[in-house]
Amino acid sequence: MRRRQQPPLPKRHGLDPARIRMPEDGSWATIREFLVDTEPRIAPSRIDEMFSSREIVDMHGPLDIDAPYVRGEAVWFHRDLPAETEVPFDIPIVYRDDTLLVVDKPHFLPTIPRGGHILQTALVKLRLELDLPDLVPAHRLDRVTAGLVLFVVDPRARGAYQTLFQDRKVRKVYDAVAGVNPELEFPRTIVSRIIKDKYDFAAREVDGEPNAETLVELVESRNGLGRYRLSPTTGRTHQLRLHMNSLGLPIIGDDLYPHPTNRAVDDFTSPLRLLASELEFDDPISGLARRFTSSRTLEL
């Protein structure tokens, strides 16, 4: 397997620079022309500024504004950061050693940088606060879901732990709060097919071969609300939210199912009542049985 090139620029704000490869069939005269045509989110004037300040580099160093296009080669630069609203919640550490870091992620904080969320993500905050520049997540939680996330400290162990999640060898348990329906019997297992189109934020259930399975248990109920224990055996996008919604019991605080609410990104009220409460697995490196639990609770 071909090894990934090490970036010729250091991390900034805990982030690697963007790597842009020039296609073999490209016919641009200069790298500037290539970037202007292929990076529409960056204004041409800003690209010129980056060349002038020596911010665009290849493996040999900074590039001039008239540097020729070289088929198959790559350039690196740091993208400008979007304006972000601070997510004003701490990230408690559940466990830490030289290989693993387990944290109790708050609601409203994305796990990794994406779209308009860059610095205000668990990954970047933890890299900076703990001085762990090589930290990577073994899996992810939705921005609006709170609870346990496992990160890998030692980059040499990254593949082993990510494979653990990909191969469904991690037992995951979630807590959720939703309405109750006395006509529904629990426990029950929901099986369906879930798909998500690339440019749609919401996923949906469709006919076809099932690819998602969740055990739903009603733990307690009071005043028209229930506390549920959700045990997924698969990890499809928004699986738990869709499966609860399919029962006619959308999770309290869900701003996407059954209908989008267009909640403002800086509205931290009424969080989704969904919590990743338990992670359990056999450690692929040490062989030890690992079990982690969240200290957070969901009030009825």
pTM for this predicted structure: 0.87
Give the pLDDT of residue 167. Answer: 95
Q: First vs last Cα of the chain: how many Å apart?
A: 51
**Predicted local confidence at residue 2, as pLDDT:** 45
Contact 177, 300 (CB under 8 A): yes
- Which positions of the chain have pLDDT values less than 50? 1-2
Cα–Cα distance between 165 and 129 in angstroms, integer? Answer: 26
Please identify, in words, the CATH class of the domain defined by 18-77: alpha beta
SS3 17: coil
Q: Which pLDDT belongs to residue 1?
A: 38
Phi then psi for residue 45, to 5 deg, are: -65, -35
The pLDDT value given to residue 18: 94
The candidate with the shortest Cα–Cα distance to 52, out of 39, 9, 38, 44, is: 44
Angle at the Cα of 281 (from 280 to 282), degrees rounded to 5?
A: 145
Measured distance CA(152)–CA(134) in Å, rounded:
8
The pLDDT value recorded for residue 244 is 98
Which helix (H) or strand (E) is 31 found in, with range?
A: helix 31-38
**Read out DSSP for 45-108?**
HHHHHHHHTT--EETTEE--TTPBP-TT-EEEEPPPPPP---------EEEE-SSEEEEEEPTT
Domain ranges of the chain: 18-77, 93-293
Phi-psi region of 220 (alpha: psi -120 to 50; beta: other; left: phi over 0): beta
Cis before 258? omega within 30? yes
Superfamily of domain 93-293: Pseudouridine synthase (3.30.2350.10)
Alpha-carbon span 144 to 253, nearest angstrom: 9
Per-residue model confidence as pLDDT tens digits over 21-75: 999 999 999 999 999 999 999 999 999 999 999 999 999 999 999 999 999 999 9
Q: pLDDT of 211-236, one tens digit each?
A: 999 999 999 999 999 999 999 999 99
Residues tagged active-site: 142
Q: Give residue 116's pLDDT.
A: 86
- Alpha-carbon Rg of the chain, whole angstroms? 22
**pLDDT at position 200, please?**
86
